Structure 1
Amino acid sequence: MKGILINYEFCTGCHSCEVACKKHLGLPKGEFGIKLTETGPYEYEGKTGKERWEWTWLPVMTKACDMCADRVEAGKLPACVQHCQAWCMYYGEVEDLAKKLDGTSRCAIFTR
Protein backbone atom coordinates (compact mmCIF):
# COMPACT_ATOMS: atom_id res chain seq x y z
CA MET A 1 0.00 0.00 0.00
CA LYS A 2 1.32 3.44 -0.94
CA GLY A 3 1.10 6.51 1.21
CA ILE A 4 2.38 10.02 1.88
CA LEU A 5 4.34 10.85 5.01
CA ILE A 6 4.38 14.46 6.21
CA ASN A 7 6.91 15.61 8.80
CA TYR A 8 5.19 18.54 10.47
CA GLU A 9 8.38 19.65 12.23
CA PHE A 10 9.72 21.07 8.96
CA CYS A 11 6.61 22.40 7.17
CA THR A 12 7.11 26.14 6.63
CA GLY A 13 3.55 26.96 5.56
CA CYS A 14 4.53 27.95 2.01
CA HIS A 15 1.31 26.50 0.47
CA SER A 16 3.20 25.05 -2.52
CA CYS A 17 1.61 21.62 -1.89
CA GLU A 18 -1.86 23.22 -1.99
CA VAL A 19 -1.17 25.14 -5.19
CA ALA A 20 0.42 22.18 -7.00
CA CYS A 21 -2.45 19.86 -6.04
CA LYS A 22 -5.17 22.35 -6.89
CA LYS A 23 -3.63 23.02 -10.29
CA HIS A 24 -3.06 19.34 -11.08
CA LEU A 25 -6.62 18.33 -10.15
CA GLY A 26 -8.18 21.45 -11.70
CA LEU A 27 -10.18 22.15 -8.56
CA PRO A 28 -12.46 25.20 -8.37
CA LYS A 29 -12.19 28.02 -5.85
CA GLY A 30 -12.73 26.79 -2.31
CA GLU A 31 -11.88 23.13 -3.02
CA PHE A 32 -8.58 21.48 -2.19
CA GLY A 33 -6.94 18.07 -2.48
CA ILE A 34 -4.54 18.99 0.30
CA LYS A 35 -5.32 21.85 2.67
CA LEU A 36 -2.79 23.68 4.78
CA THR A 37 -4.10 24.54 8.22
CA GLU A 38 -2.27 26.76 10.67
CA THR A 39 -2.42 26.31 14.41
CA GLY A 40 -1.11 28.68 17.00
CA PRO A 41 0.54 30.70 18.11
CA TYR A 42 0.90 28.88 21.41
CA GLU A 43 2.83 30.54 24.22
CA TYR A 44 5.13 28.53 26.46
CA GLU A 45 5.66 29.83 29.99
CA GLY A 46 9.27 29.99 31.11
CA LYS A 47 10.60 30.37 27.57
CA THR A 48 11.94 33.54 25.99
CA GLY A 49 12.49 34.86 22.49
CA LYS A 50 11.62 32.57 19.57
CA GLU A 51 11.32 29.58 21.89
CA ARG A 52 8.38 31.23 23.69
CA TRP A 53 6.01 30.81 20.74
CA GLU A 54 5.02 27.89 18.56
CA TRP A 55 3.20 28.21 15.25
CA THR A 56 2.48 24.99 13.39
CA TRP A 57 1.44 24.31 9.81
CA LEU A 58 -0.52 21.12 9.14
CA PRO A 59 -1.01 19.91 5.54
CA VAL A 60 -4.04 17.59 5.55
CA MET A 61 -5.35 15.43 2.70
CA THR A 62 -9.00 15.96 1.75
CA LYS A 63 -11.55 13.69 0.06
CA ALA A 64 -10.51 15.13 -3.32
CA CYS A 65 -6.99 13.67 -2.96
CA ASP A 66 -6.36 10.59 -5.09
CA MET A 67 -2.58 10.74 -4.44
CA CYS A 68 -2.19 11.80 -8.06
CA ALA A 69 -2.96 8.31 -9.36
CA ASP A 70 -2.28 9.40 -12.96
CA ARG A 71 1.11 10.92 -12.09
CA VAL A 72 2.14 7.91 -10.00
CA GLU A 73 1.09 5.54 -12.78
CA ALA A 74 3.41 7.50 -15.10
CA GLY A 75 6.30 7.05 -12.65
CA LYS A 76 6.11 10.54 -11.13
CA LEU A 77 5.63 11.69 -7.55
CA PRO A 78 2.29 13.13 -6.38
CA ALA A 79 2.21 16.87 -7.15
CA CYS A 80 2.25 17.90 -3.47
CA VAL A 81 5.36 15.81 -2.75
CA GLN A 82 7.12 16.96 -5.93
CA HIS A 83 6.56 20.64 -5.13
CA CYS A 84 7.13 20.63 -1.35
CA GLN A 85 9.76 23.34 -0.85
CA ALA A 86 10.60 22.24 2.69
CA TRP A 87 11.22 18.61 1.60
CA CYS A 88 9.04 17.40 4.45
CA MET A 89 6.73 15.17 2.35
CA TYR A 90 7.60 11.65 1.20
CA TYR A 91 5.77 9.16 -1.04
CA GLY A 92 6.23 5.39 -1.02
CA GLU A 93 5.27 2.08 0.51
CA VAL A 94 3.66 2.57 3.93
CA GLU A 95 6.07 0.05 5.49
CA ASP A 96 9.05 2.06 4.21
CA LEU A 97 7.53 5.36 5.31
CA ALA A 98 6.90 3.96 8.79
CA LYS A 99 10.64 3.28 9.10
CA LYS A 100 11.23 7.05 8.82
CA LEU A 101 9.25 7.61 12.04
CA ASP A 102 11.89 8.09 14.71
CA GLY A 103 9.63 9.05 17.61
CA THR A 104 11.14 12.52 17.91
CA SER A 105 9.32 14.34 15.08
CA ARG A 106 5.62 15.01 14.62
CA CYS A 107 4.67 13.05 11.52
CA ALA A 108 1.57 11.60 9.88
CA ILE A 109 1.14 8.97 7.17
CA PHE A 110 -1.86 9.25 4.81
CA THR A 111 -3.13 6.43 2.60
CA ARG A 112 -5.94 5.94 0.09
Structure 2
Amino acid sequence: MAEKACGLLINYEYCTGCRACEMACSVEHGIPLGRFGIKLSCTGPWKIDGKRWQNDMVPIPTDECDLCAGRLEKGQKPTCAKHCQALVIEYGAVDELAAKIASAKTKHVLFVPKAGCAD
Protein backbone atom coordinates (compact mmCIF):
# COMPACT_ATOMS: atom_id res chain seq x y z
CA MET A 1 0.00 0.00 0.00
CA ALA A 2 1.35 3.43 -0.95
CA GLU A 3 2.28 5.86 1.77
CA LYS A 4 -0.24 8.69 2.05
CA ALA A 5 0.95 12.25 1.54
CA CYS A 6 0.73 14.44 4.65
CA GLY A 7 1.05 18.15 5.20
CA LEU A 8 0.05 21.18 7.20
CA LEU A 9 -3.19 23.11 6.80
CA ILE A 10 -2.76 26.71 7.90
CA ASN A 11 -5.82 28.88 8.54
CA TYR A 12 -4.24 32.28 8.21
CA GLU A 13 -7.48 34.18 8.68
CA TYR A 14 -7.03 33.74 12.44
CA CYS A 15 -3.23 33.67 12.82
CA THR A 16 -2.31 36.25 15.46
CA GLY A 17 1.33 36.59 14.46
CA CYS A 18 2.62 35.44 17.86
CA ARG A 19 5.55 33.54 16.26
CA ALA A 20 5.16 30.57 18.65
CA CYS A 21 5.49 28.27 15.62
CA GLU A 22 8.83 29.84 14.66
CA MET A 23 10.20 29.63 18.18
CA ALA A 24 9.01 26.07 18.82
CA CYS A 25 10.49 24.85 15.54
CA SER A 26 13.84 26.57 16.14
CA VAL A 27 14.12 25.14 19.66
CA GLU A 28 12.96 21.63 18.67
CA HIS A 29 15.44 21.35 15.81
CA GLY A 30 18.29 23.56 17.02
CA ILE A 31 17.94 25.87 14.03
CA PRO A 32 20.39 28.78 14.28
CA LEU A 33 19.37 32.44 14.41
CA GLY A 34 18.50 33.78 10.98
CA ARG A 35 17.30 30.43 9.59
CA PHE A 36 13.82 29.00 9.91
CA GLY A 37 11.86 25.78 9.62
CA ILE A 38 8.69 27.89 9.52
CA LYS A 39 8.69 31.66 8.98
CA LEU A 40 5.90 34.12 9.63
CA SER A 41 5.16 36.36 6.66
CA CYS A 42 3.21 39.58 7.26
CA THR A 43 1.15 41.30 4.56
CA GLY A 44 -0.31 44.69 5.42
CA PRO A 45 -1.83 46.51 7.08
CA TRP A 46 -3.56 48.70 4.53
CA LYS A 47 -7.14 49.80 4.13
CA ILE A 48 -9.09 48.02 1.38
CA ASP A 49 -12.30 50.03 1.67
CA GLY A 50 -14.25 51.91 4.32
CA LYS A 51 -14.46 48.96 6.74
CA ARG A 52 -12.00 46.27 5.61
CA TRP A 53 -8.27 45.98 6.08
CA GLN A 54 -5.62 43.74 4.51
CA ASN A 55 -3.53 42.43 7.39
CA ASP A 56 -2.52 38.79 7.06
CA MET A 57 -0.03 36.78 9.09
CA VAL A 58 0.91 33.59 7.25
CA PRO A 59 3.24 30.95 8.74
CA ILE A 60 5.23 29.55 5.80
CA PRO A 61 7.14 26.28 6.26
CA THR A 62 10.57 26.38 4.58
CA ASP A 63 12.54 23.65 2.83
CA GLU A 64 14.00 22.81 6.27
CA CYS A 65 10.57 21.50 7.33
CA ASP A 66 10.23 17.71 7.42
CA LEU A 67 6.97 17.90 9.41
CA CYS A 68 8.98 16.96 12.52
CA ALA A 69 9.62 13.41 11.28
CA GLY A 70 11.13 12.43 14.64
CA ARG A 71 8.01 13.56 16.49
CA LEU A 72 5.74 11.77 14.01
CA GLU A 73 7.62 8.51 14.61
CA LYS A 74 6.70 8.87 18.30
CA GLY A 75 3.03 9.51 17.49
CA GLN A 76 3.29 13.25 18.19
CA LYS A 77 2.19 16.06 15.92
CA PRO A 78 4.63 18.61 14.46
CA THR A 79 5.90 21.08 17.03
CA CYS A 80 4.53 24.12 15.16
CA ALA A 81 1.01 22.66 15.36
CA LYS A 82 1.47 21.68 19.01
CA HIS A 83 2.58 25.15 20.08
CA CYS A 84 0.30 27.30 17.89
CA GLN A 85 -1.57 29.49 20.38
CA ALA A 86 -4.40 30.26 17.93
CA LEU A 87 -4.72 26.60 16.83
CA VAL A 88 -4.45 27.55 13.15
CA ILE A 89 -1.88 24.89 12.14
CA GLU A 90 -3.24 21.38 11.59
CA TYR A 91 -1.29 18.26 10.56
CA GLY A 92 -2.90 15.47 8.55
CA ALA A 93 -3.35 13.59 5.31
CA VAL A 94 -3.34 15.91 2.30
CA ASP A 95 -6.62 14.58 0.91
CA GLU A 96 -8.38 15.17 4.25
CA LEU A 97 -6.87 18.64 4.64
CA ALA A 98 -7.80 19.56 1.05
CA ALA A 99 -11.40 18.52 1.73
CA LYS A 100 -11.46 20.92 4.68
CA ILE A 101 -10.30 23.76 2.42
CA ALA A 102 -13.11 23.03 -0.03
CA SER A 103 -15.73 23.71 2.64
CA ALA A 104 -13.86 26.44 4.54
CA LYS A 105 -15.19 29.93 4.97
CA THR A 106 -11.78 31.37 5.90
CA LYS A 107 -8.42 31.76 4.14
CA HIS A 108 -6.15 28.68 4.19
CA VAL A 109 -2.92 27.44 2.68
CA LEU A 110 -1.85 23.81 2.39
CA PHE A 111 1.83 22.90 2.78
CA VAL A 112 3.13 19.56 1.51
CA PRO A 113 6.89 19.02 1.94
CA LYS A 114 9.07 17.59 -0.82
CA ALA A 115 9.83 14.50 1.27
CA GLY A 116 6.18 13.48 1.71
CA CYS A 117 5.02 11.93 4.95
CA ALA A 118 6.29 9.70 7.72
CA ASP A 119 2.88 8.30 8.73
Tell whether the structures are fold-level matches, with TM greater than 0.5.
Answer: yes
Hey, what's the Cα distance between the residues in 2 that align with 1:32 and 1:46? 37
Q: Within the alignment, does 1:92 sit opposite 2:92 as a pair?
A: yes
SS of the residue corresponding to residue 91 of structure 1 reads strand
Q: Does residue 1:80 correspond to 2:84, yes or no?
A: no
**d(CA) in 1 for partners of 2:48 and 2:112?**
34
- Post-superposition offset of 1:104: 2.5
Cα RMSD (Å):
1.1
Letter in 1 for 2:7: G
Provide the C-alpha distance between the structure 1 equivalents of 2:54 and 2:60, rounded to a whole number of angstroms: 19
Task: Give matches, 1:15-94, under 5 Å.
Answer: 15-47=19-51, 51=52, 53-94=53-94
- Give the counterpart letter for 1:43 in structure 2: K
Aligned position for 1:108:
109
Q: Would you identify which runs of 4 or more consecutive aligned residues in structure 1 move more than 3 Å? A: none
TM-score normalised by the chain length of structure 2: 0.86
**2: CA distance between counterparts of 1:5 and 1:61?**
11
Superposition TM-score, scaled by structure 1 size: 0.91
| Pairwise CA distance, 1:103 | 4.5
Letter in 1 for 2:71: R
Q: State the Cα distance separating 1:111 from its structure 2 match.
A: 1.0
Asked if residue 5 in structure 1 is aligned to residue 30 in structure 2, the reply is no
The gaps in structure 2 that reach 5 residues or longer are 114-119
Q: CA deviation at 1:99?
A: 1.7
| CA distance, structure 1, for counterparts of residue 49 and residue 12 of structure 2 | 23
